[in-house]
């Protein structure tokens, strides 16, 4: 009889909480975050998540590209998309040049943007014998001018230690537009231009009108020719990558990483840290405070002295020193947050225990000989459930912020993307002063949104269950 009554009370409470505007808004944001988490777990390949800090993985992506939707927002800027052309996009041609067999790949690239590409990369993989092949890259522009960009022998196979069972060596490499020999080769064509082109960014010269530094639109023909000296030599892969100024949903950073992957994976990480740290801190703090308040006397005094000390310690300092010396995996960081997070709520719980322990039903159970811990768990704690939930919800933003702060100063988990570490990278690259807004806005908005959702839910619980409650004071803080 009694349990069903309290259950219906509880349901009523939940219903009243869910009817507040704050809770509706809070849960809405939370659902979005949960959706992002599910999307990250299902759709984003796990590989990109674990390779976040491996620059090699991201090499085919554009550097510091803006989100691609700004092109539809500002049609007149028409920034170039990122373009990758593989062997299947090319017209292949086998011929011979003075008796030397050649293998050419012709890429017909339609470039119709208003702005130059950020860079270009020629990517190739060959298998060859004793005499190294020669690679040559030419480009024929829409106005008929033809530039020889690159001509270089590949390293002789003796250098390469990675020899397979056959006597052929596989060699893969990339030639970047910043390559010095490209600059030297282009030097020969500067006379064609009516202005003096900037050779430090060859792509601006290749794609420019002769009259002035404006994009020459039209079809560019990239011709990659391999001179093969051995009968068994074979081109395995060849790619042309034109670095775009826009890419994907959220753009890329200086290290060419797709920011949307970091943002999506940041959601489960932040939710994990926030919820785990908040729930553990509040439960530990609650039990600690209730035990102190209920037992009273010297026991209480001793426990509260420890509590006072933990409250007055500079948590920020310890978080830094602990992550430097013990480690900064996401689990350890969560543990560190719990070590210092429980103290505030313990004080509140103690003062409440002092009131509740004198209530008749508690005294009655004591007289019946129930054990202290049982009284606390069965009779006192249930009374404080709303407070517990409110405190947990209000502690989550603090925990998320603390983890983000730690990541921001460079002490976050180095193996995974977090919103804080994305902002750390943005700060070291002075993204703000360079105007790379897409690198800065999303992670910060995510941190704020995650925090706000829990803060709204927490304040909704608090306002329904305890209208004159703590108000602005959140009882748990981590830094």
Partner 1 sequence: MTGFLFFIAKTTAYRILVVVITVVITLILLGSAMDKLLTDRIRAEVVEATAQDNIQFKTLSQRQAYVNEQIQLKTKDLGLDEPWYSPKRFVNTLFEVLTLNLGRSNFFTSDSGSSNVSDIMIERVPKTVLLFTTSTVIIVVIGLFLGTYMAEKRGSVLDKSVSFVAVVSNSFATFWVGMLMILLFSFTFDIFPARSTPLTSPGDPFYLLDLLYHMMLPLITLVLLSFTVWSFVVRYFVSRVLDEDYIQAKRVMGIPKRKILYSHALKNAAPPVLTGIVTALIASISGSFIVEAVFDWPGVGKLLYDAIIVMDIPLILGSTYVFTLIYVMTMLIADLLYAYFDPRVKVSS
Residues lying near partner 1 in the complex (CB under 8 A) are found at: 309, 312-314, 316-318, 320-322, 324-326, 397, 401, 404-405, 408-411, 420, 423, 426-428, 430-435, 437, 440-441, 443-444, 447-452, 455-456, 459, 468, 471-474, 477, 479
Residue number, 367 or 433, with CB nearest to partner 1 = 433
Residue in 236, 238, 205, 311 with CA at minimum distance from that of residue 84: 238
The DSSP string of 233-252 is -EEEEEEEEE--SB-TTT-B
Residue closer to partner 1 (CB basis): 317 or 364: 317
Min separation Cβ 479 and partner 1, Å: 5
Sheet holding 146-153, edge to edge: 91-97, 100-111, 218-227, 134-140, 146-153
Nearer to partner 1, 6 or 466 (CB): 466
Choose between 112 and 471: whose C-beta lies nearer to partner 1: 471
Indicate the length of the chain as a whole number: 479
Please report which residue ranges of 19-80 form alpha helices under DSSP H: 21-42, 46-50, 70-73
452: phi > 0 → left, psi -120 to 50 → alpha, else beta; which? Answer: alpha
For partner 1, the closer CB: 227 or 419 = 419
Is residue 214 helix, strand or coil? coil
Cα separation, 130 vs 158, in Å, equals: 7
Task: Give whichever of 103 and 421 is closer to partner 1, judged by the CB atom.
Answer: 421
Of residues 308 and 363, the one with the C-beta less far from partner 1: 308
Closest CA to 148 of 194, 112, 181, 178: 181
Beta bridge partners of 105: 92, 224
Closest by CA to 386, choosing from 308, 316, 329, 465, is 465
| Alpha carbon distance 380, 384 (integer Å) | 7
Least distance between partner 1 and beta carbon 315 (Å): 8
| Helices of type H across 313-436 | 315-325, 330-341, 343-356, 360-367, 372-375, 385-408, 419-428
Q: Shortest Cβ distance from residue 424 to partner 1 (Å)?
A: 9
| 221 or 320: CB nearest partner 1 | 320
* Cβ-based nearer residue to partner 1, 233 or 253: 253
| Reduced 3-state DSSP string for 163-208 | ECCCCCEEEEEEEECCCHHHHHHHHCCHHHCCCCCCCCCHHHHHCE
Reduce the DSSP state of residue 54 to 3 states and report it.
coil
CB of 400 to partner 1, least distance (A): 8
Q: Could you tell me which of 447, 449, 475 has the C-alpha nearest to residue 461?
A: 475
- Taking the least distance from each CB to partner 1, the nearer of 321 and 364 is 321
């Amino acid at each position: 009889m009694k349990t069903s009554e309290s259950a219906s009370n509880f349901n009523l409470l939940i219903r009243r909480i869910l009817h507040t505007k704050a809770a509706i808004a809070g849960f809405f944001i939370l659902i979005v975050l949960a959706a992002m988490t599910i999307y990250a777990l299902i759709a984003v390949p796990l590989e990109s998540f674990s390779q976040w800090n491996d620059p090699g993985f991201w090499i085919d992506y554009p550097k510091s590209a803006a989100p691609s939707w700004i092109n539809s927002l500002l049609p007149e800027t028409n920034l170039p998309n990122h373009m990758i052309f593989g062997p299947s996009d090319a017209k292949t041609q086998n011929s011979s040049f003075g008796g030397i067999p050649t293998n050419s790949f012709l890429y017909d690239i339609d470039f119709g943007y208003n702005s130059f590409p950020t860079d270009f990369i020629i990517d190739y993989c060959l298998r060859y014998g004793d005499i190294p092949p020669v690679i040559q890259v030419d480009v024929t522009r829409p106005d008929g001018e033809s530039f020889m960009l690159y001509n270089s022998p590949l390293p002789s196979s003796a250098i390469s230690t990675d020899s397979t069972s056959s006597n052929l060596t596989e060699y893969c490499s990339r030639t970047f537009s910043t390559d010095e020999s490209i600059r030297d080769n282009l030097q020969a064509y500067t006379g064609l231009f009516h202005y003096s082109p900037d050779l430090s960014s060859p792509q601006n010269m290749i794609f420019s009108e002769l009259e002035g530094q404006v994009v020459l639109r039209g079809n560019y023909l990239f011709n990659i020719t391999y001179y093969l000296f051995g009968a068994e030599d074979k081109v395995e892969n060849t790619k042309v990558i034109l670095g775009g100024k826009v890419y994907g949903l959220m753009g890329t950073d200086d290290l060419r990483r797709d920011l949307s992957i970091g943002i999506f994976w940041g959601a489960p990480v932040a939710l994990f840290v926030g919820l785990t740290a908040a729930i553990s801190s509040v439960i530990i703090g609650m039990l600690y405070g209730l035990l102190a308040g209920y037992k009273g006397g010297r026991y209480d005094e001793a426990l509260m002295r420890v509590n006072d000390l933990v409250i007055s310690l500079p948590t920020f300092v310890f978080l830094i020193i602990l992550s430097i010396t013990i480690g900064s995996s996401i689990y350890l960081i969560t543990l560190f947050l719990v070590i210092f997070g429980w103290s505030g709520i313990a004080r509140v719980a103690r003062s409440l225990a002092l009131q509740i322990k004198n209530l008749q039903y508690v005294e009655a159970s004591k007289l019946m000989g129930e054990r202290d811990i049982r009284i606390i768990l069965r009779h006192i704690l249930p009374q404080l459930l709303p407070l517990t939930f409110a405190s947990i919800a209000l502690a989550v933003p603090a925990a998320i912020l603390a983890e983000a702060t730690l990541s921001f100063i460079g002490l976050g988990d180095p193996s995974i993307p977090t919103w804080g570490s994305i902002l750390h990278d943005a700060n070291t690259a002075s993204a703000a002063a360079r105007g790379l807004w897409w690198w800065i806005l999303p992670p910060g908005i995510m941190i704020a949104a995650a925090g706000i959702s829990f803060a709204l839910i927490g304040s909704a619980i608090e306002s329904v269950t305890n209208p004159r409650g703590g108000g602005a004071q959140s009882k748990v803080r981590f830094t």
